[in-house]
Structure 1
């Protein structure tokens, strides 16, 4: 026998199996000691394989990363270093590259899963290079363990969650007196309605039989008391949902309804009855896939900042317009919200650091809230930015983009827009 045998190669995505002639294994016998020393000093794992996925070289960092010694793996197939489900993809990639020259990973780093000798899996960044040798093509992989980075990212997310909660609690603390005042109104009304019921019942006890008119009056008073109680309950529930610490819960939502709820809550503690709010959106506006409480927090922040910025101007107006835009990078449709106020505007010197959480130069103290608002938008796969200054439109203009839950049913039909107004009395 000549040492050559025929094996069934990996299946391509079209289901066809490629017959490949497996060549004899040629280990690397003569390697410069300086090169070996250099490879073993490298912080990253470095592994060299031949065109049949057999390991030729395995440096010290690779031994640490995967738990195998070089003697254990030299000559073995590289899929010993990866979970089984990834091994098939790897074989298909090698076969496709050798047959067509197509290289979707050469020179491009990407995150993949590795498997330690003890069976545990872990993420690492893989970059691959290729070289032509007398024994055929060889592939060199440089691998960097991502576990520490993943842990840091998780800690950062946890800290961001804590920061968001602290800010929400701080905002509610600042609104404490006004919230108490807001609650006092319906509670006072409830007391008055119930006192009226009590007086009515006392009169009926002295007067005699109850008429249908009496029943109607009592029912009306009780109904009014119930409405005020529901108003109080609704306010408390909204405050609780903002303060409460919980993981984001994405649902399919109507963004216009989220804006309405944020507007209602933003009026707590602000005398904004003279602010005109124009909200316009296409009739076929698609829903968004978001956590409604977190997105409401963005609009609550923008609205309260705008109210504060417009205190000293005569014309107090906010224009909120929604439209569908296509992202230039991934070509996906998103929902864009343009939020324009007629306030005092943002000086050029403050624009650069506007979204920095602890910047001292911020528009009437808005800094931390905007930093968190942008973080929420980005965590949803969207963005929050300040639009370029426009002399024709005074005030500040913010652009918020969010992912849509579904595409419009028929994009070929012309879009019509509906417009509604909200004022501070609502």
Structure 2
């Protein structure tokens, strides 16, 4: 009796569904997990043909397979050793893996089916396929952007080749580009390659936590490469004089809140971007794209040069005549001796160490700010953080 009670407890608490049927295909027992899988109460299925738990055409063919099995003894019953589609009470179908064993009991044959729900595994496979497809598309896009960037740099070189001073400047820029790009591209590309290999490995083991971890690394690396390419393209367009203002009216509060949400997604662990607006006005006329580029660059730097568990302040203030944007962090700060070079192309402060970066972001911000007839100011102390202030006319007059 004790063994019987133990066996019943094991079956009742099994994670997988367990169903027994007789030689006629009628259900004799079903455990709680089996009931949950198919959304039936035991009384609704016991005594019924097992075919009720299958969608067509399996449902219609099941009795024929069972009859053939009784006559030949060959395991050709639907689903033995492979994936099967189940039919829930509400009509929803789901995939599961079915194992069947034959048991001789009290002079008759009983078939026991072990049902393992594959819904989560299938969803994970689909997500992985979607991520892989999305990654391929992004790699193609980034490759195209890189080719466009290289082509643009060559065109820029041709335009300034007539001037010795400009030729020298371009040569120096190209040298910095090659030196910086060889390092900045190699690290994320190596990380993408390694993470892709590990994702494939963990997919075979259905290790969803590890898959998610490495997919996150791939996405972060792709995002970093995108930022680098965008900086190069922005610099080229500025050098070629292709950037012009496109003024439109928009709600600066809604714009800033959306930008905050976007940047929060790439913040470090427990980093919090806190946004606040001052003033009753919110509608302005300005170049939204250039303003967003400036803000994203500054918040991106605040994220990059601040540690985990820190706050980044993002404030806007709007009056009838001007928009003020302040972005403040508690990060590593900028050495005083480096501050006079801060807005030069490819310049990076000496305390940035191994933190990745192109040295182009602040140069682009300063030049976009000038195009919008604004001004940029900053205050910074080493280990105490940095505060940038942008001031723009609102063009509301």
- TM-score category (smaller protein): 0.3 to 0.5
What is the TM-score normalised by the length of structure 2? Answer: 0.38
Larger relative helix fraction? 2
